[in-house]
Amino acid sequence: MSEKKINIAIVGLGFGAEFIPIYQMHPNATMYAICQRNAEKLHEIGDAFGIEKRYTDYEELLKDPAVDAVHINTPIQNHAEQSLKALRAGKHVACTVPMATTVEECRQIVEAVQETGLTYMMMETVVYSREFLFVKELYEKGELGKLQFLRASHQQEMAGWPGYWEGLPPMHYATHCVGPVLALPRAEAEYVSCFGSGRIDEELIPKYNSPFAIETCHIKFRDSDLAAEVTRSLFNTARQYRESFDVYGSKKSFEWTQIEHEDSIIHTGETPERIKIPDYAHLLPQEIQSFTTAGVYDSDSNQHLSFIQGSGHGGSHPHLVHKFLSALVQGREPYPNARQSANITCVGILAHESAMKGGEIIRLPDFTFSMETADLNSI
């Protein structure tokens, strides 16, 4: 392994603080700086993790020539603007999902990456979860046979989350279910058709003018005979939290557990078998392997709500860190890079547009298609 060190700055210390000790222990990172508008919280986290360089102003952080890369973990409406500012300031970018909230913002990020030659990675947890890595291994060994169909869902009760979540169109935050169905077959979405169903509380509707309790989207893959279906709900739908995907192959199929912490199912022909998903810490540097099975905080009361609801995001956090740093050290594209992130994110944005138009087919823009073969083997 290279001994090169990348100076990392983490922006946003709610969910973002989960990553601090992973970077601190990774052999290719220096956990250089943190940024948080709330000075009290900034110093609390800085003291807890022994980080000296602290910023309350993002613009000032970007002026620091020692910062090589920023890892953005701020509210979703800030992702695009902060990613663009970082790229234009000469910083590599890792950004939590989604990439942006509009198609135009996604286009601007793709263009900024192309113009600067810098690295962008959307930190999509599901495509580095142990469940995904398990199914990917089955697929690459040929055990699934030919892929025939993929399905995914992300159902989550968002009551009690920050106000900007209230009434959010379900598909505007769809990367957790879109990501795995595109990543497994190394595919890109070509066009979508989506239907909305049901109705959320009336007081939630005006914020985004979105009435739907559930949105369900069909995705047609580019240059492929495959399609996928993804389902999202955020409010007024009775369901335990679920980030899931199902994969149907000609030889074997994988179905996600219906209830959290139960076993998933492998179907061989018509014979089902419950299976324990193994951990994939062995793919990581020894220094960060422990983070696949434990959060970084000392108790559940300190962990971010997304980490608690998402069952630790499938042990994905150290894998995300490692893949981002490896891309920087080795000078290669991470998965998902800017175009791939745009393809994943725009599926959800355009799916909601389709739902508002009664299921109209909407094509993904050309800028979301890879200019060359995607390095999906880097997962």
What would the pLDDT profile of 145-162 be if each residue is shown by its tens digit? 999 999 999 999 988 787
**15: its two tokens:** 């969910």
| Mean pLDDT (whole number) for 22-50 | 97
| Mean pLDDT (whole number) for 336-340 | 98
C-alpha to C-alpha distance for 175 and 61, rounded to whole angstroms: 28
**132: its two tokens:** 């995904």
Report the candidate in 84, 30, 26 with the shortest Cα–Cα distance to residue 58.
84
Look at the block and give the residue holding tokens 């087919």: 361
Domain annotation for the chain: domains and CATH numbers = 126-281+333-378 (3.30.360.10)
Report the candidate in 152, 88, 150, 146 with the shortest Cα–Cα distance to residue 118.
88
Q: What is the DSSP string of 328-370?
A: HHHT---SS-HHHHHHHHHHHHHHHHHHHTTS--EEPPGGGS-
C-alpha to C-alpha distance for 51 and 122, rounded to whole angstroms: 25
pLDDT value, residue 293:
87
Predicted confidence band of residue 313 (pLDDT cuts 50, 70, 90): confident
- Alpha helices for the chain (secondary structure H): 20-25, 39-49, 58-63, 79-88, 103-116, 130-140, 175-183, 305-309, 317-330, 338-356
* pTM to 2 decimal places: 0.94
C-alpha to C-alpha distance for 79 and 93, rounded to whole angstroms: 10
Give 351-373 pLDDT, tens digit per residue.
999 999 999 999 999 999 986 54
Cβ 208 vs Cβ 196: under 8 Å: no
Q: Quote the DSSP letter at residue 109.
A: H
pLDDT value, residue 162:
77
C-alpha to C-alpha distance for 358 and 355, rounded to whole angstroms: 5
For the stretch 169-202, what's the b/e string if a residue is b when 16 or more beta carbons lie within 10 angstroms of its beta carbon?
Answer: bbbbbbbbbbbbbbbbbbbbbbbbbbebeeebee
Task: Give the pairing of strands 29-35 and 6-11.
Answer: parallel
**302: its two tokens:** 């300190």
pLDDT value, residue 118:
98
| Mean pLDDT (whole number) for 46-72 | 98
Give 153-194 pLDDT, tens digit per residue.
999 998 878 788 999 999 999 999 999 999 999 999 999 999
